[in-house]
Structure 1
């Protein structure tokens, strides 16, 4: 019989992540239910590697899975087709650009209309859209956006505490537009010494891009260290593409 799931009153402290349900329980990684989605609660949750994930009609559910899916930015897998797409995107700077935080609500709203791999329906319910928009206004959530000819065609949003970065969701209205945004985030992270992007849970798509699982204890140690470092400047400069697309040099 699984252990009783803690019910949180708003603003109550979160249980330690090691108390999350484990293998053999009905929902491995589930830590608690209830609580609140305000800025303080979300910051407290992410600071200890915990995130909300639930569906319509459910209470707020908090998760701290073990192992944890992460994308080490040094291991980002840039396949030939995506490399060509990025090179073309970079060359067409008059028509193509990466923007940061110019349309956060549009990005999270677009993400909320798509299904997450392995789950029926959306997990970004309306109260999550509002909560993360407030988190964005407080400076702790960011959007990385792919724009073509003045149109938002893809992007992602993430949470950042110091230099701990937690990926949330992506969307694309054009082929590879979300991958372009992720590539830009990888470049930004490399430029500013961020080593990991949290991906929360394992999917084939993330694994194909270089994501892998690490023990929760290692992940929590990373978060504890990274969140105490100075915040990353959330802006993207075209020169950042050099992190993935090194400029060609003439042979000596």
Structure 2
């Protein structure tokens, strides 16, 4: 998908690190002055805009309204080379509605020169595969897929921590066919401190003063966050 306008869908059940990953990518794109928009299609917990300004939101959180808004926004962005990042809620039905509403949406995006990338956040439960597996069964075939294994979901990280998922036929099918890559996302030890301040990661690392009543991150927290950001960049470097 190198050189293409990317439409990136972040999906996953609750507490699998989905929101952390999309916030990281938004902060990185903004830092690198890339041309992009971020959309919050999480109808159960639409809080992305509290961390990043300018987040697009649907006129209402009915599935049909979300589907119409998403398709129109995405198809309008591609001719201008604007990357689109979309946050879907845990267990959300909105993307499934889009797939039913526009079954050829991936093909349409690809014909326009874009690429659909699905980032599926995973914990240690095999059920974490279900949001993506359900979409796949509806005929959804993204241009590229990344399985994001959340280190924070494994109390003691061990090679067997994600064994149930890695043994599942759906996961094995996509990885065996080279239709997906797997990435281990490092745990952010100061996640709660950053979230409480409603700052993007790079501002928090620099000790920015939050709009909330909380003080800036303490120096050691800034150092931990800086190390995590460096690790995240290394994790994502092979896939761009």
* Shorter-normalised TM range: under 0.3
More strand by share: 1
Higher Rg of the two aligned structures: 1
Using the size of structure 1 for normalisation, the TM-score is 0.25
Using the size of structure 2 for normalisation, the TM-score is 0.26
